[in-house]
Amino acid sequence: MIEHAFVCQPEGGATYQNLFDRALNHGRIDRFDAAVAYATTSGVETLLAIMARHSANDWKKVKKRWLVAIDWCRSDPVALDLLANMDASKVRIFNGARVVARKNCTPVTPFHPKGFLLRGRDSTAVIVGSGNLSRNGLRGGHELGSVLVAGDPKTPLENDLLTSCRSVASWFENQWKKADDFDALRKAYVERYDSADNLRAPPPTEDDGVESDEPAADRPRHRGLAVEQLRQLRAARHFWLRFVPNQNRGKDLPGSQLMMSRMMRVFFGFPADDLPPDSPVGEVRIEFNGFSDWFSMRFVNNKMDVLNLPIPGREGPPTYDNRILLFRRRSSRQGADYLLTVGEPSDVREWLRRSNRVGGAYKMASGRPWGIF
């Protein structure tokens, strides 16, 4: 049995999801290996959503190995934590000890594959192409990819193709043995990733695309935020902003809606796509003071991103009015979530200091302060 297919993403609505669907339609898998140049948080969550479509496979029990590069600090530590924290999952970094010791994690020889290997009792599948473990790499960017599924060969050609798939598995095994455990490198890599050099000008990834019908000349400041600020929001693990009082819950009740500049949604893992006014953006899992739940974000008629927060006086603090709120992106068993802190004056001074250190302290057009670090 042989099956082969290409996708020219996103032409005709085709995405990498179609490649995984073909690979998984041939029965259960028990091993999943990936070798990628980098991983983003939204990319990991996109892949998890693809795998969740196939209930016949118990993803928790599948043995997973992730061979990832940290070249130029492109891989988000939260994404690597998400991979490492999955059940039956291990993460290794190609040439990690050597790369993390170099300024900006500059590689000697870049690690640049984009491949996935899915193996089960009845078949072996190899997915290769141009898409990394990023949201746009797997879902919306302009990519070329292919899948080859082989099993139970009955002709010389089928046997040759199965042998070819197994040669990819052999290559992966050799690279895996030489790679370094992520756990041993994590502290040093986080320091590199959070450094001023990296967060002042984060290296671009496939998730930094800005979809817009605006003329190119109008894009240096993309609807209130510079492209460089969008990259900082994507890369940063902390984002803070002053809350403007509002009456969404009624005249005499403290508000629970955080008004943000359009595209600040990027920090929460959403793409910087044009949306019509009054459109849903998505759901964000927020934790405050031990309470955790999903909260909705919308792009509203006044052309701002609006995030609902835990209700003041119930799950949230007595009020958010004019307070500085900090969100810290982190990993959990369910994916990325965001720890919310309402800052005291000493906290705010420290957050501002850290933002200034990485060139990440700003003001909105209204004068409202915000920043990243």
Let me know: does 10 contact 140? Beta carbons within 8 Å: yes
Say if residue 157 is in the same domain as residue 289: no
Q: Looking at the domain assignment, is residue 200 inside a domain?
A: no
- How far apart, in whole angstroms, are the C-alpha atoms of residue 323 and residue 342? 7
Together in a domain, 113 and 236: no
Question: Per the domain annotation, does 227 fall within a domain?
Answer: yes
Cβ–Cβ contacts within 10 Å for residue 61, how many?
Answer: 11
Residue 263 forms part of a structural domain: yes
Residues 226 and 367 reside in one and the same domain = yes
The number of residues in the chain equals: 373
User: Do both 129 and 232 map to the same domain?
Assistant: no
Looking at the fold, whether 257 and 117 belong to one and the same domain comes out as no
Residue 66 is predicted with a pLDDT of 98
Asked whether residue 57 is assigned to any structural domain, the reply reads yes
CATH of the domain at 131: 3.30.870.10
Contact present, 23 and 115 (Cβ < 8 Å): no
Residue 117 and residue 254 in one domain: no
* Residue 264 sits in the same domain as residue 133: no
Which of 150, 177, 193 represents a domain boundary (last residue)?
Answer: 193
Q: Give all strands of the β-sheet with 63-68 in edge-to-edge order.
A: 2-9, 143-150, 124-129, 114-119, 31-36, 63-68, 89-93, 180-181
Cα separation values, 264 from 48, 217, 372, Å:
24, 21, 11
**pTM: predicted TM-score of the whole model, two decimal places:** 0.89
Q: How many domains does the chain have?
A: 2
Q: What is the pLDDT of residue 268?
A: 97
Q: What are phi and psi of 7, to 5 degrees?
A: -130, 140
Q: Are residues 32 and 126 in the same domain?
A: yes
pLDDT value at residue 76? 97
The pLDDT value recorded for residue 184 is 98
| Same domain assignment for residues 30 and 85 | yes
Instruction: Read off the tokens for 92.
Output: 């290794």
203 domain residue, yes or no: no
Q: Which long-range contacts (CB under 8 A, 24 or more apart) does 215-223 make?
A: 222/263, 222/272, 223/262, 223/263, 223/303
Same domain for 225 and 177: no
Q: Is 53 a member of any domain?
A: yes
358 close to 373: Cβ distance less than 8 angstroms: yes
Longest dimension (CA), the chain: 78
Residue 170: count of CB within 10 angstroms of its CB: 9
Domain closes at, from 144, 175, 193: 193
Cβ atoms of 338 and 285 within 8 Å: the answer is yes
Written in H, E and C, the secondary structure of the chain is: CEEEEEEEECHHHCCHHHHHHHHHCCCCCCEEEEEECCECHHHHHHHHHHHHCCCCCCCCCCEEEEEECCHHHCCCHHHHHHHHHCCCEEEEECCHHHHHCCHHHCCCCCCCCEEEEEECCCCEEEEEECCCECHHHHHHCCEEEEEEEECCCCCHHHHHHHHHHHHHHHHHHHHHHHCEEHHHHHHHHHHHHCCHHHHHCCCCCHHHCEECCCCHHHCCEECCEEHHHHHHHHHCCEEEEECCCCCCCCCCCCCCEEEEECCHHHHHCCCEECCCCCEEEEEEEEEECCEEEEEEEEECCCCEEEEECCCCCCCCCCCCCCCEEEEEEEEECCEEEEEEEECCHHHHHHHHHHHHHCCCEEECCCCCEEEEC
Q: Is residue 205 assigned to a domain?
A: no
| Structural domain range at position 177 | 2-193
Residue bearing tokens 């010791």? 101
> Both 91 and 153 in a single domain?
yes
> Which residues face 141 on adjacent strands?
none
Mean pLDDT of each 10-residue bin along the chain, 373 residues long: 94 93 90 97 94 82 97 97 96 98 95 97 94 93 95 90 94 98 98 96 87 47 76 97 96 96 95 93 97 97 96 97 97 90 98 98 95 98
Domain termination residue (choose one: 137, 158, 193): 193
Residue 65 lies in a domain: yes
The β-bridge relationship of strands 369-372 and 143-150 is unpaired
Residues 265, 167 share a domain: no
Tokens of 121: 């009792």
